């Protein structure tokens, strides 16, 4: 889910060959793990205050089952929730201290699998893969950019070093001795994040194998720092956030290149590191993309599981709930379930009406317009898919309205590939509404004006899905579309 634009561009239902993803396994602490002490202290202070689990949950927006899991050490909490519990129970900072100890123990345990010589499977991708030199856009001048926040300062706004200095900082970071690395300084953090934003923007313009390999090489350097025994928990948190962002970016670039099994593995790692860093936005993004990969593999059950978990990782956050509902709509559309598809689209749109400051605090890149664009884009794809599955032109016309709305909401700053993706979707909705001439006419104007380098893999999948639909009933239009697409 590229957070400054469409969340996981919604491809057609054409199935590529890829490894089938397993059903999602949410990451939860074990009862004898680092969160047991926090749970015990919470139970002590709750009972001292004379509150039931349900009463305490009502005070923080959780139900009694969530409070029970926290008290048993099987659910972690965020610093914000710990602060609210401390205030509500007048615990004098004791719960905040217990949270800090739990987080430090969790980080210490989590980095061990990445130390050299241990048995955990290696990071996906070939560490020696180079490929042709990857071109990349100029880095941004400031952060946040491309949905990426500074791992040290969040959304405060940070200057990115000039390109020459950025390259030197990146080289120095990657060349440092992993056994005794220096702490992550602000300039290097800004350089690494700005470089990732530039590479992601370049990857949206055109697929390039060198980009993914370059991102993965930097990720390995981040992990070497994260696994260092000399790094404190305070130093590991921003590194875990960088690892999550880089792993998610590597997955997005691998998915764009059609390497879906590698992409799934990268997203799985991104999910783990984002949870350790308390990075809710990347958790939602990774799960959304995992649901997309499951759909591409024709596995609606796994797609539905990942979509459900998307809403669960950010309880009470309407932006995450909206993305989870759209993911569920898309999964049900694969099975031709009209009722469930329409129901979840309606729920996603309802969540949009409740997005407010609390949501923006979690995802500062968020805006009402950008979320509406994401929801309408996903709704268009889901309605298009289910309309094609059941042969209903009325559903296709609803899909067309949503696709045109998403295209209208697309900002002028968006890259041409996103606009092309949306335009292909509009054309596909015309075809499903039994108006193939309109589809071909629209794409004729669009494809003739589009430079070849802005036709990434996901757009190609959309075009193939449209061609297959036309070929089944309108071979003349399908042939014309193939000519326009140059294939």
pLDDT digits (tens, 9 = 90+) for 226-257: 877 676 777 788 999 999 999 999 999 888 87
Task: Tell me if 175 sits within 8 A of 224, measured CB to CB.
Answer: no
pLDDT for the residue 134 = 55
Share of the chain above pLDDT 90, in %: 37
Structure tokens, 105: 């123990």
pLDDT band at 182 (very low <50, low <70, confident <90, very high): confident
Exposed, middle or buried, 124 (CB in 10 Å: 0-12/13-18/19+)? buried
Average pLDDT, integer, range 406-421: 76
Average pLDDT, integer, range 281-285: 92
Q: Which of 7-21, 183-197, 388-402 has the lowest mean pLDDT?
A: 7-21
Report in angstroms the alpha-carbon separations of 317 from 43, 61, 270, 459.
25, 11, 20, 31
Give the ranges where 356-392 is alpha helix by DSSP (H).
357-362, 368-390
**Is pLDDT at 125 greater than 70 in this prediction?**
no
Average pLDDT, integer, range 306-331: 92
pTM: 0.75
Nearest to 245 by CA among 230, 226, 231, 228: 226
**Is pLDDT at 60 greater than 90 in this prediction?**
no
pLDDT for the residue 128 = 61
pLDDT for the residue 480 = 66
């Amino acid at each position: 889910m590229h957070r400054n634009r469409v969340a996981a561009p919604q491809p057609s239902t054409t199935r590529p060959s890829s490894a089938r993803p397993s059903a999602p396994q949410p990451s939860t602490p074990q009862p004898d793990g680092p969160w047991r002490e926090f749970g015990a202290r919470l139970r002590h202070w709750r009972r001292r205050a004379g509150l039931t689990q349900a009463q305490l949950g009502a005070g923080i927006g959780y139900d009694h089952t969530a409070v029970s899991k926290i008290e048993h050490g099987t659910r972690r909490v965020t610093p914000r929730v710990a602060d609210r519990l401390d205030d509500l129970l007048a615990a004098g900072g004791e719960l905040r201290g217990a949270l800090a100890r739990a987080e430090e123990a969790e980080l210490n345990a989590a980095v061990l699998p990445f130390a050299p010589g241990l048995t955990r499977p290696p990071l996906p991708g070939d560490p020696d893969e180079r490929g042709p030199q990857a071109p990349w856009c100029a880095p941004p001048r400031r952060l946040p950019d491309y949905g990426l926040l500074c791992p040290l300062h969040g959304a405060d706004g940070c200057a990115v070093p000039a390109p020459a200095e950025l390259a030197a900082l990146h080289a120095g970071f990657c060349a440092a001795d992993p056994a005794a690395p220096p702490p992550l300084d602000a300039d290097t953090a800004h350089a690494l994040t700005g470089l990732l934003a530039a590479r992601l923007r370049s990857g949206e313009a055109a697929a390039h194998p060198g980009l993914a390999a370059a991102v993965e090489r930097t990720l390995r350097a981040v992990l070497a720092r994260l696994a260092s025994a000399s790094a404190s928990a305070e130093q590991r948190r921003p590194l875990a956030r960088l690892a999550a962002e880089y792993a998610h970016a590597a997955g997005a670039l691998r998915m764009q290149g059609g390497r879906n099994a590698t992409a799934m593995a990268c997203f799985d790692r991104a999910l783990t590191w984002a949870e350790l860093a308390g990075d809710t936005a990347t958790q939602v993004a990774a799960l959304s993309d995992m649901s997309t990969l499951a759909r591409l593999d024709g596995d609606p059950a796994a797609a539905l599981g990942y979509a459900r978990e998307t809403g669960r990782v950010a309880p009470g956050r309407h932006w995450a709930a909206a993305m989870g509902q759209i993911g569920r709509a898309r999964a049900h559309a694969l099975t031709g379930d009209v009722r469930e598809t329409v129901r979840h689209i309606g729920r996603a749109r309802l969540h949009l009406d409740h997005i407010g400051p609390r949501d923006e605090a979690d995802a500062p890149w968020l805006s009402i317009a950008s979320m509406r664009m994401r929801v309408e884009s996903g709704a268009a794809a889901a309605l298009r898919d289910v309309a094609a599955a059941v042969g209903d032109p009325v559903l296709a016309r609803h899909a067309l309205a949503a696709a045109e709305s998403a295209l209208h909401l697309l900002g002028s700053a968006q890259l041409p590939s996103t606009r092309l993706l949306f335009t292909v979707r509009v054309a596909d909705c015309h075809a499903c509404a039994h108006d193939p001439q309109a589809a071909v006419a629209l794409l004729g104007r669009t494809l003739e004006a589009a430079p070849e380098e802005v036709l990434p893999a996901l757009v190609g999948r959309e075009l193939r899905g449209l061609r297959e639909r036309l070929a089944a009933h309108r071979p003349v239009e399908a042939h014309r579309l193939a000519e326009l697409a140059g294939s």
